[in-house]
């Protein structure tokens, strides 16, 4: 590898890609990424990448299949053009919720996506807050799995006073909530829930005392908003003085934002790993950019420096 750093992007999140390049003070690589007249995805690189250390920025978000195909075709084009190393930068890893079989005759979609990325020619992956940490093991290449918790905790810590309770909306998110709690202080509460069918949640019970305290719900993603709102209503029923919420990925399927705006949640803080609507007047949504974090990680990977310092 001759040391050249080149970065390309698909069409999934041009605003984030531009912000990352602004942080790096470099131009985005020139490429044609679009569709043929028959609807098939079209990719053509307009720069020489032979011997280069190349990064491809692409969130696998809605429309998921189209953006995944763009990532695969860009990676394949780079491989065939003799790039020395290809790193797939995936701020949001789509299909991550399908990381295990919940009933018979189902695919493990997160594993299939990992296989496709590796087969296309990626040499390593840089991603942020996978829904299940075990997905790292689906790859047979290095994975740099960043966390947004330090960014979100630093932001909220300035607004929180004593008497904070950090709430995990399910048992699987306890480690994430505990990491957040260590950074902002306070105690921990855990909500138990079950999914009788897809996209439907039932709250079972809560462990922890929130009476008269500020409750902060910490999750990795918000899809329909149903789980988040049910948790917020339970917290208010149990006497929480205020309810705030934070998550890395704001998917906001359907009318999720309207549902959240009508809920007891006072403020919702998310990052820009996927394209988001501009918060309107009176909206509870606040957005933090992950562009500086991803730019720093890209530069550290390129220079063969440790990425672990980004977890502090």
pLDDT, average across residues 89-118: 95
Average pLDDT for residues 215-220, to the nearest whole number? Answer: 96
Q: 13: alpha, beta or left, given left = phi > 0 and alpha = psi -120 to 50? A: beta
Same domain, 178 and 204: yes
Q: In terms of domains, do 88 and 163 share one? A: no
What's the start-to-end Cα distance of the chain, in Å?
30
209: three-class secondary structure by DSSP: coil
For 258-310, what is each residue's pLDDT tens digit? Answer: 999 999 999 999 999 999 987 665 689 999 999 999 999 999 999 999 999 89
Residue 66: domain span = 5-148+292-311
Residues 298 and 242 in one domain: no
Residues 23 and 158 reside in one and the same domain: no
What's the confidence (pLDDT) of residue 172?
A: 85
Q: How high is the mean pLDDT of the chain?
A: 93
What integer pLDDT is reported at residue 234 of this predicted model? 94
Whether residue 13 is found in the same domain as residue 142: yes
CA 152 remoteness from chain centre: 13
| Token couple for 152 | 């979100």
| Higher pLDDT, residue 293 or 163 | 293
Are the C-beta atoms of 8 and 29 separated by less than 8 Å?
A: yes
- Percentage of the chain beyond pLDDT 70 is 94
Of 44, 193, 284, 303, which one is the catalytic site residue? Answer: 193
Mean pLDDT, range 67-88, rounded to an integer: 98
Burial 4-17 (b: 16+ CB within 10 A, else e): ebbbbbbebbeebb
* pTM for the full predicted model: 0.94
Q: Domain check: are 224 and 177 in the same one?
A: yes
Do residues 303 and 229 share a domain? no
Give the pLDDT confidence score for residue 177 in this predicted structure.
96
Stretch 154-177: mean pLDDT, rounded? 88
User: In this structure, are 20 and 135 located in the same domain?
Assistant: yes
Residues 174 and 143 grouped into a single domain: no
Model confidence over 18-76: pLDDT tens digits?
999 999 999 999 999 999 999 999 999 999 999 999 999 999 999 999 999 999 999 99
Higher-confidence residue of 159 and 231: namely 231
Q: Any idea what the Cα angle at residue 16 is, between residues 25 and 71, rounded to 5°? A: 105
Catalytic residue check, 193 = yes
Give mean pLDDT, residues 194-214.
78
138 and 210 part of one domain: no
Which domain CATH number covers 78? 3.40.50.2020
Same domain, 253 and 174: yes
- Do 111 and 47 fall into the same domain? yes
The first and second tokens of residue 18, run together, are 């531009």
Number of domains in the chain: 2
- Quote the pLDDT of residue 168: 95
> If pLDDT is split at 50, 70 and 90, which confidence band does 1 have?
very low
Residue 290 CB coordination number (10 Å): 22
The pLDDT of residue 157 = 86
């Amino acid at each position: 590898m001759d040391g050249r750093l080149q970065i390309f992007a698909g069409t999934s999140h041009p605003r984030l890609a531009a912000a990352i390049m602004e942080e790096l003070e470099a131009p985005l690589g020139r490429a044609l990424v679009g569709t043929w007249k028959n609807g098939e995805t079209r990719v053509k690189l307009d720069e020489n990448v032979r011997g280069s250390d190349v990064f491809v920025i692409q969130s696998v978000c809605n429309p998921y299949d189209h953006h995944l195909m763009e990532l695969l075709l860009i990676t394949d084009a780079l491989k065939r053009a003799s790039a020395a190393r290809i790193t797939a930068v995936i701020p949001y890893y789509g299909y991550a919720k399908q990381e295990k079989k919940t009933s018979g005759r189902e695919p493990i979609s997160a594993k299939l996506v990992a296989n496709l990325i590796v087969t296309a020619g990626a040499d390593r992956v840089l991603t942020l807050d996978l829904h299940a940490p075990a997905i790292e093991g689906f790859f047979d290449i290095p994975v740099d799995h960043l966390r947004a918790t330090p960014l979100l905790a630093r932001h909220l810590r300035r607004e929180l006073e004593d008497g904070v309770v950090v709430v995990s909306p399910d048992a699987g998110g306890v480690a994430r909530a505990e990491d957040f709690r260590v950074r902002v202080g306070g105690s921990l509460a855990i909500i138990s829930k079950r999914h009788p069918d897809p996209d439907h949640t039932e709250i079972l019970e809560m462990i922890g005392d929130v009476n008269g305290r500020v409750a902060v719900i910490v999750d990795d993603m918000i899809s329909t908003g149903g789980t988040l709102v049910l948790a917020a209503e339970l917290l208010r029923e149990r006497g929480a003085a205020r309810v705030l919420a934070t998550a890395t990925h704001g998917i906001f399927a359907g009318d999720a934002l309207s549902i959240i705006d009508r809920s007891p949640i006072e403020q919702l803080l998310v990052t820009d790993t996927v394209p988001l609507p501009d918060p309107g007047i009176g909206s509870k949504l606040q957005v933090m950019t992950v562009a500086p974090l991803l730019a720093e990680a890209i530069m550290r990977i390129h220079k063969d420096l440790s990425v672990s310092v980004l977890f502090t």
